[in-house]
Structure 1
Amino acid sequence: MSSSTPHRIALVPGDGIGREVVPAARRVLDAVCERRGLALDYAEYDWSCERYEREGAMMPDDALDRLAEHDAILLGAVGYPGVPDHVSLWGLLIPIRRRFQQYVNLRPIKVFEGLDSPLRGARAGEVDFVVVRENVEGEYSEIGGRIYQGTPQETAVQESVFTRAGVTRILDYAFGLAGRRRGRLTSATKSNGIVHTMPFWDELVRERAAAHPAVTWDQEHIDALAAKFVLRPERFDVVVGSNLFGDILSDLAAAIAGSIGIAPSANLNPEGRFPSMFEPVHGSAPDIAGRGIANPLGTIWSAAMMLDHLGHTEAAADITSAMASVLAEGTVRTPDLGGAATTGELAEHVITALRPLS
């Protein structure tokens, strides 16, 4: 696609602070695209918990067909008090991930200069890794149910689904990413306690490792791995895990990096057959929604990942470099980072920090 042909971007601000951080990220996107001669064509959708309470559905029946016409999706946050989490997530986020085969959930973790980690030994320049989470099967399946509800015999059954095709493709993506980074991969497992799915996962890790001989790999049980994230986060490069393990590890890692408010994520369809979706890791934060103090950096970084996915690596680097500069300077920060800046002020500071083109 030439730089003169607009990329079609679906904006779904969603709930709570999503409605504040997505417009902030859009301003940064617009500034970078203007500098680089790129064009984005936006369509905004009000799909949210508010829509659910008003119309009985998080999004309309043809929502996925509409999204399929776009090149990428930028999402703010999903969830709000009064609407159960399983309703909001299964009514919007998870159908998008599954319909568009966004089987890679990518979450970069980095300690930035000027932003202290709660871990004494986690230093800028040393902690820089990526969690690769399988995103469409595993423990988050729809198979199962409840019987004898309300009786002493009440029973809930939840099935995990691990397919050879699904596990193989996430492992190949993770090994390939490690090969382009520092050549180290760690697999999260629990085969000493989960007797069927995790040994299957481990077998496929060994199988796919043989196809990537340049990558050094090991495996860690999830409990020990969580401890090592805290004790020695600098040792990791690429960490790959199932849907549940990757979800937990990536949130832990974001906290290690200093603030979940800056953590981004990408839901990728690597083959490009469907649109990919980009979203901050933080939730809708109803306690601060509407006050204009939410940290926009997680969404801004997610927007940078979107540009990178669309083939605009230099524009993406412009944004992440500006973010790093703002954090290192440390004068403009939202309350979660110990400052008093508004969402808009921090976003404008990122725009100001964009380096002149050489």
Structure 2
Amino acid sequence: MWHEQFTNKHNKTQYRFYEKYKDPYTDKWKRVSVVLNKNGKQSQKEAQKLLNERIESKLNDKTPTDLKTLTFHQACDEWLEHYKNHSGSKTTTIKEKTSNTNTVKSAINKDVLINKITHTYLQDIINEWAKSHSTGHVQSLVIVIRSVFKYTFKYYDLHDISILDKIDIPKKAKTRNELQAKRNNYLEDSEVKELLECFDYLIKHKSHATRKRNYEMVKALVEFQINNGMRIGELLAIKTDNVEVENKTLEIDGTINWVTDAETGAFGVKETTKTSKSYRTIGITTQSINLLKTLMLENKKENQWNDKFIDRGYIFTNTAGSPIDLNKVNNIIKEATDISSIKKRVTTHTLRHTHISTLAQLGINLKAIQDRVGHSDYKTTLEIYTHVTDQMAKDMMNKLEEAKQL
């Protein structure tokens, strides 16, 4: 140990004591220091004790230098880049992860160091999210947080990620109306008939050719989805070469990602299906074949007379040849529902569930339905299937009661 005498800014004499030690990771000599007001034997003894404590602390600190300055925002950016390059995920999934990562970053100050974050700090943020986001969305945001911490644990030797075990997502009790709406998220035959009639009314009162074509296209889309049950992204990705007219089969081999096509500049690009289970070939009825043939003929006419139409092979298209915009689809479905007597909130998912309910009412077994609609988890199919068959049992008992009274 050695020392230096100096005068501080208040013009008082002080003593800086030094001790050196060898860094085991670099094999280089480093030093630590402490400042005391005196230089007697007692002060020297105190200085040596403090210097030894600092050296021990330095030797026991295994935190990498770069982790000491790593902010949570930097860790997020690094993890996301790693995810893009190594996950093998589809473009749509990467877009979703990017959006969720931005949401997470917006809730945390950009200067916050990741190794200083506590579980209570994170829990307060999660609790705020729970007030304005759905439980599913909050779960997605928490997945990002967990992924970022695990990435830092792996690549920066972040010692303690036990805070991840201490955070949880507040659960909201579903109201009776919410549960009932979920269970009844399909249309009865009479409701399907009324909805299509409302489309006919809207189409009849559209004078602009482009608007009329859009409404006709959405009506065809609604009818086709009800009869075949694919996801809306899968339906919009159908191309002419997916259709086997003679065999009456349809190959479902992709879904639409809403980006600009690099080659044509058109909007909407086909990418792989949601899961491997989603890739499938299904049988379709003569009615569905005729509907597709009508649309393909309409697109040929549009391509011949409309210079802006780019034929990329899609069937459910707008006047530019791109898959018809999903927001437009939803808005037109809502417009038709609003003029009907249907009290349910009708979405394209409602139409998909309607097909599943129809199959259940026809007595088709669960596995066959699951394969047809591309559910990787049978529980998703079972939830709809069970409700419909329960309702069928109630209807049967009602009819038996009525028959008994006659």
Report the TM-score, using the length of structure 2 for normalisation.
Answer: 0.25
Structure ranking higher on relative contact order (CA contacts 8 Å, 6+ apart): 1
Looking at secondary structure, tell me which structure has more helix per residue. Answer: 2
The structure that has the greater radius of gyration is: 2
- In terms of fraction of residues, the more strand-rich structure is 1
TM-score, L = length of structure 1: 0.27
